[in-house]
Amino acid sequence: MNPNHVAIIMDGNGRWAKLRGLKRTEGHLKGSETLKELVEYAFSNGVKVLSVFAFSTENFNRSKVEVDFLMDLFIKKFNEYFYELHQKGIKVVFSKKDAGLPLKLESIIKDVTEKTKDNKNGIFNICINYGGQDEILDMTKKVCTKVINNELDINSITKEVISNNLYQDLPPIDLLIRTSGEYRISNFMLWQMAYAEFYFTDVLWPDFDEKELENAISAFNKRDRRYGGVKKK
């Protein structure tokens, strides 16, 4: 069965550009085009939830030129992606810290979230200004506040309650893909990844096309998922 929730760490834009004698920003631009194609392909091939790591809280440490370029690219691309995704009935959600992004980008994020909130054909989750440990920390504060305010009994805290209080309440990740030959999860969706199958490839993100996604999905389909149990004969 194809994976229900696919998550992608889109890595290698900078190296892709360097290999071609281009600026790092040109790698990001090409990477954004790759993403647009893959989103459409994924939702047409049975994926119900697609999460992508667009910008981590640590990415703010990059040069101002690169950060500014990425923020402008997000503004442009979120508007661009929005039309087609909305047509296709995809709900767009953002996993992010409350504040920290440029106001113009925050306003587009709010707008896209609001306009697509009733869509039912799939969920596109964009992690931006995101860190997995921060997500768990922010959830902990929310849950503790509810307990202190007597809105929640401590014995009623379940995994569902935790999931409900994360940035987005999403189903577990089935398949995690990371491009560019790095074998790390880099603080990405730690809670949701508990039973994910990992797929690492040397392909740099701008070159990750439909065929590569097909390869990842077919590798996933060959995995034996036991969730800690024993395979039934």
Residue 28 near ligand FPP by CB under 6 A: yes
Q: Return the residue of 3, 5, 8, 32 that touches ligand FPP, per CB under 6 A.
A: 32
Helix (H) / strand (E) element for 81: namely helix 64-87
Q: How many CB atoms lie within 10 A of CB 233?
A: 3
59 tagged catalytic: yes
- Looking at residue 175, its amino acid is L
Whether the CA torsion 44, 51, 62, 105 is positive or negative: it is positive
CB of 70 to ligand FPP, least distance (A): 6
Q: Which two tokens stand for residue 101?
A: 């992004």
Q: Compose the 40-59 pattern: x for residues touching ligand FPP by CB under 6 A, - for all others.
A: --------------x----x
The site string for ligand FPP over 151-190 (x = CB under 6 A, - otherwise) reads ----------------------------------------
Site string for ligand FPP, 110-149 (x = CB under 6 A): ----------------x-----------------------
Cβ of 29: how many Cβ atoms within 10 Å? Answer: 18
CA gap 9, 220 in Å, rounded: 16
| CA pair distance 143, 182, nearest whole angstrom | 34
Euclidean distance between CA atoms 206 and 212, whole angstroms:
11
At its nearest, how many Å lie between ligand FPP and the CB of residue 224?
A: 31
Question: Of 6 and 126, which CB lies nearer to ligand FPP in the complex structure?
Answer: 126
Whether 11 is catalytic is yes
Cα distance between residue 125 and residue 69, in whole Å: 21
Q: Alpha-carbon torsion 146, 151, 157, 162, what sign?
A: negative
CB of 143 to ligand FPP, least distance (A): 29
23 binds ligand FPP, rule: CB under 6 A: no
Query: Active-site positions?
Result: 11, 59
Q: Which residues are near ligand FPP by CB under 6 A?
A: 10-15, 28, 31-32, 35, 54, 59, 73-74, 77, 126, 205
